């Protein structure tokens, strides 16, 4: 069982709230989304493991058991090409859960006309294996859901 932590502070609102069907329809996998507190903030590692992919707007961390978790900061934020995001860790780095990975500004993303909602997704997971999904206010590092 893997405990997945909230990467950012905000309100856990569920993947269905993400205005992108790739996430809201669960095409990438099960999980939840956080409507982040607006303003500058730091997104942290949701699990301990290796950062196998690090983009400014999204990252994937794989734990020792091979489970991969995707954190996607905002919708269509790939279009920003890194503007407004700053990497605080390196691809290939091993990190503890809760370690800062990317600094960003959710208010800036929103001001640019994009949703700042952060999807947190269990990759290659069947829908039923994500349990104890948090709802409402969470702080970065709080338990967000369990991956059985």
Partner 1 sequence: MGERKVTVAAEVGLHARPAATFVKRAMQAPMDISVGKVHGGSPVNGKSILAILALDVRQGETIVISADGEGSEEILDELATIAGTP
Q: Which residues are catalytic?
A: 72
Contact between 7 and partner 1 per CB under 8 A:
no
Locate tokens 């001001």: which residue?
Answer: 111
Q: Burial letters for 29-45: b for 16+ Cβ neighbours within 10 Å, e otherwise?
A: bbbbbbbbbeeebbbbb
Interface map 69-98 toward partner 1 (x if CB under 8 A): -x-------x--------------------
Contact between 44 and partner 1 per CB under 8 A:
no
Assess contact for 51 and 59: CB atoms under 8 A.
yes
Give the strand pairing for 2-5 and 58-62: unpaired
Chain centroid offset of residue 116 CA: 11
Contact between 53 and partner 1 per CB under 8 A:
yes
Cα torsion for 89, 95, 118, 68, to the nearest 10°?
120
* Least CB distance to partner 1 at residue 62 (A): 7
Query: 34 vs 51, which CB is nearer to partner 1?
Result: 51
Contact between 62 and partner 1 per CB under 8 A:
yes
* Least CB distance to partner 1 at residue 23 (A): 9
Dig out the tokens for 16 from the structure. 């269905």
Contact between 27 and partner 1 per CB under 8 A:
yes
Contact residues for partner 1 (CB under 8 A)?
21-22, 27-29, 52-53, 60, 62, 68, 70, 78, 123-124
């Amino acid at each position: 069982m893997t405990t997945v932590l909230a990467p950012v502070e905000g309100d856990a609102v569920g993947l269905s709230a993400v205005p992108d069907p790739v996430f809201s329809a669960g095409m990438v996998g099960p999980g939840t989304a956080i409507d982040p507190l607006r303003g500058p903030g730091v997104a942290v590692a949701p699990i301990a493991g290796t950062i196998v992919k690090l983009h400014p707007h999204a990252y994937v961390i794989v734990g020792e058991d091979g489970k991969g978790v995707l954190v996607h900061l905002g919708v269509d934020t790939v279009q920003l090409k890194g503007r407004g995001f700053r990497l605080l860790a390196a691809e290939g780095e091993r990190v503890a859960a809760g370690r800062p990975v990317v600094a960003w500004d959710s208010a800036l993303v929103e001001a640019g006309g994009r949703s700042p909602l952060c999807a947190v997704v269990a990759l290659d997971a069947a829908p039923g294996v994500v349990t104890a999904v948090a709802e409402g206010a969470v702080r970065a590092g709080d338990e967000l859901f369990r991956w059985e």
